[in-house]
Every structure is written in C-alpha cells, then in structure tokens.
Structure 1
Amino acid sequence: MVPAPPARDPGETGVLTLSPTGRRTRLAACAVVLAVLLGGNLWGTDADFPFGPFRMYSTRADPDRPVVSTRVVGLTAAGEEIRLSGGEVGLRRAEFEGQLSRLAEQPDLLSLLAESYADHHPDAEPLVEVRVVLRRYALEDGRRTGEVTDDVVVAHDLEATP
C-alpha cells in the first residue's frame, strides 16, 4: 500500500518569494554580467570571448578583398607538388596557420612534415623541399574572379638538411 501524500495547507500557494535582499543581490549580479558583456562587445577582442566579440561571426568580410588559404606542399625532385595539408601528415590547415610565426622563425621544422609524409607514404617519391604557401583568390562583389596568386611564406630545402 502506498502512503498518501501529506495534506497541504489550503492557504499555501507553493510559491517561494525572495526577500528584498535576495532580489537586490540577483539584480546586482545581472547588472554586473550585462555590464561586462556590453564592455566586452565595445572594447574587447577575440581573446576576451565569451565576454568579447568573436569577430569571425560578428563582422563581415569585404566582398572585394581576396580570400587567403594556407597550403603546405612538398616538392619532389621532378618538381611535382604534393599536398601536405589537409591531414596528409596528421595536421590540419588551421593547425599550420596557428604555427606560421613559429615556422617562419624555424623553417627546419618543416622537415618533420616531410618525415611524417615519408612514414605515411613509404612508396612515394621523396620530397626535396617543403613550402608554406598563401594562396589568394581574388574576389569582386563576393565572387571569384579567377585570379589566383601564390606567395611562399616559408620554405625549407630538405637536401640541405644534414
């Protein structure tokens, strides 16, 4: 047999009310959070997220500015380009982009990518150079014009590596 629920007082509404101090505390906490969010949106940077704007989603790119794509390629002795970004060596493009300044200071780190490529593709022709290339796609009114330019920002000659 299930016991009956306790009888309710007919004057009880079941709603708990906050004390005036509790209401003031909650209002003050809300005001502080809103002030921090407003200040972050006005003066913050991406590093302040979530209290600052995440500019990737809060701004619009100029439809006439080129789109830049980072590529990492290896060159064979025959001059063939082998794509190393996109997971071919265990790293994605965003991971390369995050390391660009480090790679510019220490281009010999690119030899590690060539080693990883050789480990994953033992039958492939060996690489003689690894390059980080910024490919720019020209836009006009937000549409590709067909003009593409490549700028090599870091290169490492693997044959010169001891």
Structure 2
Amino acid sequence: MSRWSRIGIALAGLLLLILGTLFGQDDDFPFAPFRMYSTTDRLDAPVKSLRVEAVTVDGERIVLSDSDTGLRRAEIEGQQERIADDPALLDAVASAYHTRHPDRPRLREVDVVVRLIQLKDGRPTGQWQDTTTVRREIP
C-alpha cells in the first residue's frame, strides 16, 4: 500500500472520529463516544429497572431471572422496542423457561415490567412505580 493511500485512510479515519465526536451516538462506536459514560442525569431523576415476570397456569406470579431463562436482562432491555412491536417474541422467553424447568408449572403469561425508582439527592427514597409495558398470553 502506498504512502498516499495510508495517509488518505488515516485522514478518513480522523474525519470519522471528529464527526462521530460531534454528532455521533453510542451505536456509532468506535467513531463516537459512549455517551452513557460522558453525560449525567439529575440526581432527583427516577431510575428505570426492567424485569420479566410471568404467571403460571396455577396463577402464581413469578419473576423470571437470568438463570430461569438463560436470557440476561440486558438482552431484553436491548430488544424492548422490538418486543413492544411484536409481543410474540416473549414466546421465546417462555420456551426457554420451559426447557430449563420442565418439572415446573407452565407459563400462561409473560410480562415486561419497568420499575421507576424515585431518587432524592441520588439516593432511593423507597418510592417506586411499576408499569407493565408488554403483556403476552402464551399459547
């Protein structure tokens, strides 16, 4: 590769870094900063915490943990919009649960629940509010 080719590639990379720094978002990494680490929220802003709950055929409400399904919370959080658009995607969560726990009662419903935890000066106040954002009846 010629010297001018290498210089051109270096300049293109530098241009991408500059544009990414000025206009980029997390999805543009490595040509943009991780904004989640370079910005702050108000100390009194509520914090969101997502969890997956289910109702068994016996009527018991349970929280589905990572070990119950093999799916990490971050994987569900990353797919929130897709799941909201297509709740049938939660069938895979129920299937994973049934595969890992064939001896437990089957699930009849899977819910995505978001808890808003209230803060005061950056510390939890003990007040929170749960909202079910997606509900799926399992066939």
Percent identity over the alignment?
A: 46
The equivalent position to 2:73 in structure 1, one of 93, 118, 121, is 93
Runs of 5+ unmatched residues, structure 1: 1-21
The residue type equivalent to 1:138 in the other structure is: Q
Q: TM-score, normalised by structure 1?
A: 0.71
Quote the residue 2:111 is aligned against. 131
Greater share of residues in helix = 2
Residue 27 of structure 2 is aligned to residue 47 of structure 1: yes
Paired with 1:83 and 1:37, the residues of 2 have a C-alpha distance of: 43
In the superposition, relative to structure 1, how do residues 118 and 63 fare at CA in structure 2: closer, same or farther (>3 Å)?
A: same
How far has the Cα of 1:32 moved from its partner? 6.4
The residue type equivalent to 1:86 in the other structure is: D
Paired with 2:60 and 2:11, the residues of 1 have a C-alpha distance of: 61
Greater share of residues in strand = 2
Quote the residue 1:72 is aligned against. 52
Paired with 1:115 and 1:44, the residues of 2 have a C-alpha distance of: 38
How far has the Cα of 1:27 moved from its partner? 8.9
Of the structure 1 ranges 77-86 and 89-98, higher mean CA displacement relative to structure 2 is found in: 77-86
Quote the residue 2:36 is aligned against. 56
The DSSP-based 3-state class of the residue aligned with 1:103 is: helix
The equivalent position to 1:83 in structure 2, one of 56, 59, 63, is 63
Q: Is the 8 A contact 2:54 2:64 kept in 1?
A: yes
Q: Structure 2 matches for 1:112-131, cutoff 5 A?
A: 112-131=92-111
In the superposition, relative to structure 1, how do residues 38 and 78 fare at CA in structure 2: closer, same or farther (>3 Å)?
A: same
Residue 124 of structure 2 is aligned to residue 149 of structure 1: no
Q: TM-score, normalised by structure 2?
A: 0.81
Runs of 5+ unmatched residues, structure 2: none
- Which of the pair has the greater relative contact order for Cα pairs under 8 Å at 6+ separation? 2
Of the structure 1 ranges 66-75 and 32-41, higher mean CA displacement relative to structure 2 is found in: 32-41
The DSSP-based 3-state class of the residue aligned with 1:88 is: helix
In the superposition, relative to structure 1, how do residues 121 and 54 fare at CA in structure 2: closer, same or farther (>3 Å)?
A: same
In the superposition, relative to structure 1, how do residues 50 and 122 fare at CA in structure 2: closer, same or farther (>3 Å)?
A: same
How far has the Cα of 1:79 moved from its partner? 4.0
Quote the residue 1:102 is aligned against. 82
State the aligned residue count: 137
- CA deviations on 1:102-149 (whole Å, 9 max, x unpaired) are 212221222222222122112222222110111111111100011111
In the superposition, relative to structure 1, how do residues 51 and 124 fare at CA in structure 2: closer, same or farther (>3 Å)?
A: same
Q: Is the 8 A contact 2:58 2:105 kept in 1?
A: no
Quote the residue 1:12 is aligned against. none
Paired with 2:84 and 2:17, the residues of 1 have a C-alpha distance of: 37
